[in-house]
Structure 1
Amino acid sequence: MQCVVFDMDGVLFDSEKLVLQCWEQTAQAHHIPDIQTACRSCLGSNAASARQKFLEKYGADFPYDTYKQEMSARYWQQVETGKLVLKPGVREMLQFLREQHIPAAIASSTRRAAVRQQITLFGLQDFFRKIIGGDMVQQSKPHPEIYQTACAAMDVPPACAYAVEDSYNGIRAASRAGMHPIMIPDLLPPTPEMEQLAEQIFPDMAAFQAFLKASQKK
């Protein structure tokens, strides 16, 4: 395998839970019902797609942009106070890939600037050769564009790259791009569809690293 492309939220950082918590606080303040369902439907989606999903659920007059800004302010306040944490095994995995000379990239539905801000906060920026954010592509996951873009940027055929994902839309996108999808579940449990689309499903990053180590020995 020539490279590994990581999703960010829910894969590198335990950020999905933090976003959900901030949406719940915003929903409580404004009496927005069933916010968990709305948020879970957006996992793996970029900003434009998430906005559309909220409007479909709550109506065209729903003040999404206002609430999203409020939620985002809460989120970054949490980040600044140290509430954002790395997922277990991430730093060890990135160090292992560096030692094996396997390049890594990020393909995240989050804006590129926000991705850079968060990985820099944890000193991870030098581990990634390329960062593709959701604002750099036209189509949101499950469309394969972001993974196609990442593979092109890395100059690696999709068939020679792993894509590490936690969301259904992410696994669908990686599969449609012709990559080798790896699922490490976060908020969403594996489904029969995910078991079919993912090449492997691991409980955590350490298990994926062990799989790569074993693959290197073959």
Structure 2
Amino acid sequence: MTNEHIEAVIFDLDGTLIDSEPVHYLAEKELLQAYGIDGFTMEMKKPYIGKSTESIMEALKEKYHLDASLESLVAEKIKRYLYLAYRNMDVYPEMRTFLQQLKNSNIPLAIASGSSRSIIEEILKITELQPYFSVVVSAEEVAAGKPAPDVFLKAANDLSINPERCVVLEDSQYGVEAAKRAKMYAIAIPYLSEPPLHPLFGQADLLFEQGMSQFSASKAIKWINEKR
């Protein structure tokens, strides 16, 4: 575990700041139906939560033998997702409170997400979160998505802050693993919080075991301030 003082906070987007996983699921379900594939359930979606858009579509293409290029599938998924997102998207209220507390403390903030840049930018517009973040990184812009540490390392580099002085907020085990591989602090708010939790969540420096229903902005900001 890093013992450095915290100087910046890096956020995952989907499932951490916004409850977007049901929207991703609907977009993927509709896409599969367009190719004649029925029966894709939320339970079947769960193993993909926390992975990049490209890696998810690559897996679905292989699993269901979709007769289309990966590039076209990614583009179609993004189009369907954004159409649904305009009608079904909001920030978790406690996260919005937390963002304001961090802003009031003049702590630099970044987004490091597995989503495409076009999705990230549109969601930040829809939710009016752009002013909070000085850096935005998409998995499209690095060699490998989570659980590789690349997106977090690029975010730290773009912030001009040592990775060991960053804390990551994540909802997936892949994100927690990526944060620890980047030698960063990790705060975990599991999206899939029903027990048993994935063992990788045990690597988090601060864990809200019951997910967003337990997350406390005041507790998180107190923990960060103690390490500044």
Specify if TM > 0.5: yes
Pairing partner for 1:2 from 4, 7, 12: 7
**Given the alignment of the two structures, is residue 54 of structure 1 paired with residue 60 of structure 2, yes or no?**
yes
How much does 1:198 deviate? Answer: 1.3
2:88 paired residue number: 83
Residue identity opposite 1:75 in structure 2: Y
**Which string of whole-angstrom CA distances, capped at 9 and with x for unpartnered residues, describes residues 98-156 of structure 1?**
11111110001112232122112222111111101121111111111111111111122
How much does 1:215 deviate? Answer: 4.9
2:166 paired residue number: 161
Looking at structure 2, the residues matched to 8 and 144 of structure 1 have their Cα atoms a distance apart, in angstroms, of 16
**Which string of whole-angstrom CA distances, capped at 9 and with x for unpartnered residues, describes residues 29-53 of structure 1?**
5234445465333322223322332
**Given the alignment of the two structures, is residue 200 of structure 1 paired with residue 209 of structure 2, yes or no?**
no
Pairing partner for 1:107 from 112, 124, 127: 112
Looking at structure 2, the residues matched to 107 and 208 of structure 1 have their Cα atoms a distance apart, in angstroms, of 20
2:135 paired residue number: 130
1:151 paired residue number: 156
Pairing partner for 1:212 from 221, 225, 228: 221
Root mean square deviation, CA, Å? 2.5
Structure 1 unmatched ranges of 5 or more: none
Looking at structure 2, the residues matched to 47 and 201 of structure 1 have their Cα atoms a distance apart, in angstroms, of 26
Matched residue count: 216
Pairing partner for 1:14 from 10, 19, 23: 19
Q: Structure 1 pair 217/152, CA: closer, same or farther in 2 (3 Å)?
A: closer
**Given the alignment of the two structures, is residue 180 of structure 1 paired with residue 185 of structure 2, yes or no?**
yes
Please tell me whether the aligned partners of residues 41 and 53 of structure 1 are also in contact (alpha carbons under 8 angstroms). no
TM-score by length of 1: 0.85
- Single out whichever of 105-114 and 65-74 deviates more from structure 2: 65-74
| Percent of residue pairs identical | 27
**Given the alignment of the two structures, is residue 31 of structure 1 paired with residue 37 of structure 2, yes or no?**
yes
Please tell me whether the aligned partners of residues 95 and 217 of structure 2 are also in contact (alpha carbons under 8 angstroms). no
Looking at structure 2, the residues matched to 143 and 160 of structure 1 have their Cα atoms a distance apart, in angstroms, of 18
Q: Structure 1 pair 123/34, CA: closer, same or farther in 2 (3 Å)?
A: closer
Looking at structure 2, the residues matched to 160 and 180 of structure 1 have their Cα atoms a distance apart, in angstroms, of 8
Structure 2 unmatched ranges of 5 or more: 1-5
TM-score by length of 2: 0.82
1:98 paired residue number: 103
How much does 1:90 deviate? Answer: 1.9
Looking at structure 2, the residues matched to 107 and 16 of structure 1 have their Cα atoms a distance apart, in angstroms, of 16
How much does 1:70 deviate? Answer: 4.5
Residue identity opposite 1:179 in structure 2: M
SS at match of 2:100: helix
